[in-house]
Structure 1
Amino acid sequence: MTTYGDLFESAMVTQLKVELAERDWEQKDLAEKISVNRVTMSNYMTGKRSIPMPTFLKIAEALGIAPGTLMDRADARVRPTTDAE
């Protein structure tokens, strides 16, 4: 069974990809901005590793988005799935 947490993590990765595309950034650009190794960033963006909260906060800051707004956008991607259940 897939949990809300699993769905949310996947939705957050999708949202981050959207945010990067809107800025014409690549993963490496974000990695540089928050001082994270490229491989680590790749692991976050492929779902191999969860994004730690301090890193998430740095990501939101680098993107110029309030952390809560970023979370709300990811949650909105999950809600149509969880509301149907």
Structure 2
Amino acid sequence: MGTYGSDIQSAIAAEIKAETAAIGWKQADLAKATNMQASTLHRYLSGARDIPMPAFAGIASALGLSMVELAQRAERRLESGEEAS
């Protein structure tokens, strides 16, 4: 079992991946929509790097969500024990 910080980061990454897939995008599409290097986004979503707040805000916006909505969805994912991929 990890710490809450690493667990919520994993849940956020999993939620971003799920939301990206739900709108039919690949990671490259999300990277383009956020003006982020694809390799940087990949590091965030793989857990190699924590997602900084400005990047999180841009990702949420690109997905049509507020930061709060995205964080709440990740929190529910974490509470339900749903696999973070």
Q: Counterparts of 1:39 and 1:7 in 2: how far apart (Å)?
A: 22
Q: Match of 1:50, as an amino acid?
A: D
Partner of 1:22: 22
Partner of 1:73: 73
Partner of 1:44: 44
Partner of 2:35: 35
TM-score computed with the length of structure 1 as normaliser:
0.90
Identity of aligned residues (%): 40
TM-score computed with the length of structure 2 as normaliser:
0.90
Q: Match of 2:40, as an amino acid?
A: T
The runs of 5 or more residues in structure 2 that have no matched partner are none
More helix by share: 1
Q: Which segments of structure 1 move beyond 6 Å, counting only runs of 4 or more?
A: none
The runs of 5 or more residues in structure 1 that have no matched partner are none
Q: SS in structure 1 opposite 2:55?
A: helix
Q: Match of 2:52, as an amino acid?
A: P
Q: Does 1:58 align with 2:58?
A: yes
Q: Counterparts of 2:24 and 2:80 in 1: how far apart (Å)?
A: 28
Shift of 1:79: 1.4
- For these two proteins, the number of residue pairs brought into alignment is 81
